[in-house]
Amino acid sequence: MENNLEIVTIDTEIGTEQLTETLTETKVEDESFLNFVTIDVWTLIFTWGNLLILFLLMKKFLFKPVRKMMLDRENEVKELYDNAERSKADAAAIKADYESRLSNAKEEAEQIVKNATRSAALKSEEIIAEAHETASGIIARADKQIEAEKRNAENELKNEVSSLAVSIASKVIEKELDEKKHKELIDSFIEKMGDA
Amino acid sequence: MNGPKIMFEIPIFGGIPVTETVTNTWIIMAFIVLLSIWLTHDMKKVPSGKQVIAEKLVGMLYNMVEKNMGKGYVNFFAPYIGALFTLSALGSLSSLLGMRPLTADFSTTLGWALLSFMMIQGNNIRCNGIKGWLKGFIEPVPLLLPINIIGEIANPISMSFRHFGNIAAGMVITSLLYGALASLSAVVLQWIPNTFINSIPIFQLGLPAILSIYFDLFTSFLQAYIICMLTMVFVANAGSEEAARGE
């Protein structure tokens, strides 16, 4: 306690003066203390300076980087969620698109089938009509041909019959018959027969 | 009981005395800054180990400031309160390492309390204007002017003395206890005819550690918490609702 110097530095001026005095006095011992309860202006100023410096250093080395990291992560998570949400919406839109396209396609297919059926029906009708036409043409031609054949056959038959009749008649009557005259006669007869 | 020792003098302005308090503050500040650098070194997107602790602490601090003061104060006050709390708590805890606690020096706690006082008044003026600030002293009735003034001035005084008193008393009690236990040891061991054994303060082993849980650990954190909490509440109360919302 003897070493302890009584300095109550409530008054700054006097306090520091006393302090300097006592310090020069006690330089030899190199042990000087402030009072237990004292307001030392220099300590006060140092306290302010120290707290300010610590504030700045902690802000730079601790709060800013940690805060930045936390906010970055928060943003990233938010972004991820946003992206997921957006992808979900996209997927839903794509799905709706596909569904509408699918139903369109169904309709289209139906239309195509209907068209195809209709055109096929038309075509078949056409083909059938054509076939009919061709067939009737063929039939007509055949009829004509038959008619011609018939006529030919008739003519031939007529010739055959007349010559047959002449030969039969000549056989019957023996040589008295003028073949030429009689043939004409028979022919006219057959002609009359045929007409009848 | 001595006050803080004067470690050396800066030879300007007729000699600036640098006390034990100030040098201990520097040691603790260096420790805090190194700790901060270590904690934030090599941080990753996916946190692990020390980064989890750093983020937890910083997150808690920011939440506490936002809850007590409002969003508008977070940017400045969260780092300030963080620095004040760390310095106060570690400054008091330094007694565990045999250093003189910074907060057992009234000049330190008064410095912090005066800063709080200036912030309170400054925030009041910022939000209400000088007229509004002055008007606050004659509310609700002009008769209360002296009481209001005393009330404002009492804040830093009570704040600083509370903090200083708790830590200093702990320091005094601990040293008294050590003295008492040394005497008790001497009395109990005096029948042994050996001066070396007589001089062993056996009772100093153990008991002071239990008391130090209260006086050092508990009080250190409690007082740091109190001065921070009071600063936050008073500053926020002095300001307007808009300032709290950050408008």
> Is the bond leading into B140 cis (omega within 30 degrees of zero)?
yes
pLDDT at A3 over 60: no
d(CA B149, CA B170): 32
Q: Is there a contact between B58 and A37 if contact means CB atoms under 8 Å apart?
A: no
A21–B contact, CB cutoff 8 A: no
A30–B contact, CB cutoff 8 A: no
- Per the structure, the complete domain to which residue B228 belongs is given by 43-245
d(CA A85, CA A1): 75
What average pLDDT does the structure give for chain A?
80
Which among A39, A42, A50 has the least Cβ separation from residue B17?
Answer: A42
Q: Is there a contact between A33 and B6 if contact means CB atoms under 8 Å apart?
A: yes
Whole-angstrom distance between the N-terminal and C-terminal Cα of chain A?
182
The neighbour count for residue B171, using CB atoms within 10 Å, is 20
Q: Is there a contact between A54 and B58 if contact means CB atoms under 8 Å apart?
A: no
Domain count along chain B: 1
Cβ neighbours for A35, distance < 8 A, ≥ 6 positions apart: A4, A6, A7, A8, B3
A14–B contact, CB cutoff 8 A: no
The tokens describing A104, both together, are: 């369109």
Q: Is there a contact between B3 and A63 if contact means CB atoms under 8 Å apart?
A: no
How many Cβ pairs within 8 Å bridge chains A and B? Answer: 146
What per-residue confidence (pLDDT) applies to B132? 87
Find the helix or strand (DSSP H, E) in which B227 lies. helix B219-238
One digit per residue, the tens of pLDDT, for chain B of length 247 reads: 677 777 777 778 777 888 888 889 999 999 999 998 998 888 777 777 888 888 899 999 999 999 998 888 888 899 999 999 999 999 888 888 878 888 888 889 999 999 999 999 999 998 888 988 888 888 888 888 999 999 999 999 999 999 999 988 888 888 888 888 888 888 887 777 777 777 777 777 777 778 888 888 888 999 999 999 999 999 998 888 777 777 7
Number of H helices, E strands in chain A: 4, 0
- CA proximity to B172, closest of B101, B90, B94: B101
What per-residue confidence (pLDDT) applies to B163? 92
What per-residue confidence (pLDDT) applies to A195? 64
Q: Is there a contact between B108 and A43 if contact means CB atoms under 8 Å apart?
A: yes
Q: How confident is the model at residue A48 (pLDDT cuts 50, 70, 90)?
A: very high
Cβ neighbours for A191, distance < 8 A, ≥ 6 positions apart: A158
What per-residue confidence (pLDDT) applies to A196? 58
Which among B32, B45, B78 has the least Cβ separation from residue A63?
Answer: B78
What per-residue confidence (pLDDT) applies to A133? 93
- A76 chain-B contacts, CB cut-off 8 A: 45
The tokens describing A139, both together, are: 């039939």
What per-residue confidence (pLDDT) applies to B242? 77
Q: Is B16 inside any structural domain?
A: no
pLDDT per residue as tens digits for the range B42-82: 877 777 788 888 889 999 999 999 999 888 888 889 999 99
The neighbour count for residue B123, using CB atoms within 10 Å, is 22
Q: Is B31 inside any structural domain?
A: no
| ipTM, interface predicted TM-score of the complex | 0.85
Q: Which residue of B has its CA nearest to A62?
A: B36
The SS3 assignment for A155 reads: helix
Chain A nearest CA to B208, separation (Å)? 22
Q: How far is CA B133 from the centre of its chain?
A: 28
pLDDT at A114 over 80: yes
Q: Is B61 inside any structural domain?
A: yes
What per-residue confidence (pLDDT) applies to B195? 74
d(CA B201, CA A112): 110
Instruction: Please tell me the least confidently modeled range out of A17-26, A60-69, A91-100, A134-143.
Output: A17-26
Q: How confident is the model at residue A31 (pLDDT cuts 50, 70, 90)?
A: low
The sign of the CA dihedral A49, B114, B124, B228 is: positive
Q: What is the mean pLDDT of residues A172-182?
A: 68
The partner residues of A33 in beta bridges, in order of sequence, read B5
What per-residue confidence (pLDDT) applies to A130? 93
The tokens describing B113, both together, are: 């309390």
d(CA A152, CA A149): 5
Which among A41, A43, A69 has the least Cβ separation from residue B105?
Answer: A43
- A6 chain-B contacts, CB cut-off 8 A: none
Residue B107, CB half-sphere, CA atoms under 13 Å: how many? 28
Q: Is there a contact between A34 and B4 if contact means CB atoms under 8 Å apart?
A: yes
Full-model pTM: 0.68
Any idea which residue has 């300010």 for tokens?
A52
What per-residue confidence (pLDDT) applies to A39? 83
Burial of A71 (0-12, 13-18, 19+ CB in 10 A): exposed
Angle at B186 between CA B185 and CA B188, to 5 degrees: 65
Q: Is B24 inside any structural domain?
A: no
Chain A nearest CA to B85, separation (Å)? 11
Q: Is there a contact between B106 and A39 if contact means CB atoms under 8 Å apart?
A: yes
pLDDT at A1 over 50: no
What per-residue confidence (pLDDT) applies to A29? 43
Which among A48, A70, A76 has the least Cβ separation from residue B115?
Answer: A48
The SS3 assignment for A29 reads: coil
A49–B contact, CB cutoff 8 A: no
Which among A44, A63, A72 has the least Cβ separation from residue B110?
Answer: A44
Domain ranges, ordered by start, for chain A: 157-195
The sign of the CA dihedral B60, B65, B66, B72 is: negative
- B63 chain-A contacts, CB cut-off 8 A: none
A71–B contact, CB cutoff 8 A: no
